[in-house]
Amino acid sequence: MNRPEGLSVEVSGGEGVLPAEREVLERISAEELVELTRALVMARGENPPGQEAATVEVLAGAAEERGFPCDRSMVEPGRDNVDITLEAGDGPGLLLLGHTDVVPVGDGWTVDPFGAVVRDDRIFGRGTTDMKGGIAACLVAMTALRDAGAPLAGPVQLAAVVDEEAADVGIRHWTKRLGERAGGGTRPPYRGCVVAEPTDLQTIIAARGASYVEIRVTGQAAHAGNPADGRNAIYGAARVVAELERWHEQYAAHAHPLVGPRTWNVGTIGGGTGGSIVPAECRITVDRRLLPGESPALVLEETRERLGRLGLADRGLGLEVEMTMDMPGFETAAEDGFVRCVDGALGAVGGPGLPLAGWTAACDGGFVARDHGVPTVVLGPGSVSEQAHRADESVGIDELVVAARAYALTAMRLLART
């Protein structure tokens, strides 16, 4: 294993860095980021089935070693959300948001997926990019702010939630608790939220949401020797699939300028019990991507209405449509002061200089934006398209350094005492 020796990332560019800011940024080291990222990756666990516990223990332990208050909240047995806070002034703070679950390992690995091997200035392993590296960058940034005594008008909080890769029970639990603590107040508790998901160090100001739609077509079983005696559910399901494909193609002409169009994707289909039996049931699982601000309830209503016009009832078939999961999208205006602060900080610490952009993926930040009115961006180390959910997932050490410094500088500028 090759460990980084004195890896340095220049703090330059952008709007310039003040001496007090530079003192904080220079406390962020590649060595500390590598050590913490590796420890998180080596904490084995996959979701499904929901094995975040080992990662939560490592993260909470690292926070407590650094002297940060750590609030754990049980979402489900063995599955805790973790809030780590750098206490500061009594004004609204900065929220850093991440998730502790990773997708299943899968096949095709050439390295131990939980070995956290360091090679060619990259760390390899499941979750390095999505998104244990981002979480490590957040905690290291908070440590540098604390150690340098940075004067902040509000706290910096890292919320690390469970189950982002499945049903989002973690962020739902977290945002409900936040609402209860706020007591129904209308003032946003944070001046902004940075979701530390992998974006190739590009500031993302809009993201699509996601929903899962379960469709069940029911018919009547009969002997295949006389199919007319039955009602073929698979034939009905085929009509549904064809209609969803047509609908998907229609959406392509009405794309959002940053995140693209709404989409349908039929992911699974299954039905029937044997070739000689008219199938009495067929189930379809569909992914429906949502535009920022789009209502899942209205999407479900529209889907039921459109599929209801296929005339399946006239063929003696039943149709049930349910939405089993929904995650909201979000959009923050490019001219918003929080966006300018984050992107300026990124440029000042040597970011790649990419333009503000949208994301076709979904993330937990949509809940924070929708439920609490907090300006939200996504910014993190690694690539969601080239590394996340793949064999031999990895993240560049230099990206971790830039991300951590961008988070720290964002906090200093956003929460500067006046």
pLDDT recorded at residue 184: 58
Q: Which tokens in the block code for residue 415?
A: 């929460």
Confidence of residue 294 (pLDDT cuts 50, 70, 90): very high
**Torsions phi, psi of 69, nearest 5?**
-60, 135
Is the per-residue pLDDT at 33 higher than 60? Answer: yes
pLDDT tens per residue across span 260-291 = 999 999 999 999 999 999 999 999 999 999 99
Kindly tell me if the per-residue pLDDT of 4 is higher than 50. no
Residue 415 has pLDDT above 80, yes or no: yes
4: number of Cβ within 10 Å: 18
What are the DSSP E strand ranges found in 24-108? 70-76, 79-86, 93-99
3-state SS of 353-402 is CCCCEEECCCCCHHHHHHHHCCCEEECCCCCCCCCCCCCCCEEEHHHHHH
Cα separation, 362 vs 209, in Å, equals 5
Note the pLDDT of residue 58.
98
Mean pLDDT, rounded, for 129-138: 98
Residues 87, 90: Cα–Cα separation, whole Å: 9
Radius of gyration of the chain measured on its C-alpha atoms? 24
**Distance, CA of 400 to CA of 40 (rounded, Å):** 14
The confidence score (pLDDT) of residue 94 equals 98
Hey, what are 139's tokens? 């905690």
Mean residue pLDDT of the chain comes to 94
Are the C-beta atoms of residues 225 and 127 closer than 8 Å to each other?
no
pLDDT number for residue 397: 98
Identify the pLDDT of residue 256: 97
pLDDT at position 183 over 70: no
User: What was the pLDDT predicted at 3?
Assistant: 35
Which DSSP string do the residues of 316-358 spell out, in sequence order? T-EEEEEEEEEE--EE--TT-HHHHHHHHHHHHTT---PPPEE
| Residue-level pLDDT at 185 | 58
Q: What is the per-residue pLDDT for 16? A: 83
Instruction: List pLDDT tens digits, range 346-366.
Output: 999 999 999 999 999 999 999
> Is the pLDDT assigned to residue 299 strictly greater than 90?
yes
Neighbours of 28 (CB within 10 A): 26
pLDDT over threshold 50, residue 2: no
- The per-residue pLDDT for range 11-24, each reduced to its tens digit, is 444 458 999 999 99
Indicate the pTM of the whole model: 0.92
Amino acid at 404: A
Given a cut of 60, is residue 81 above it in pLDDT? yes
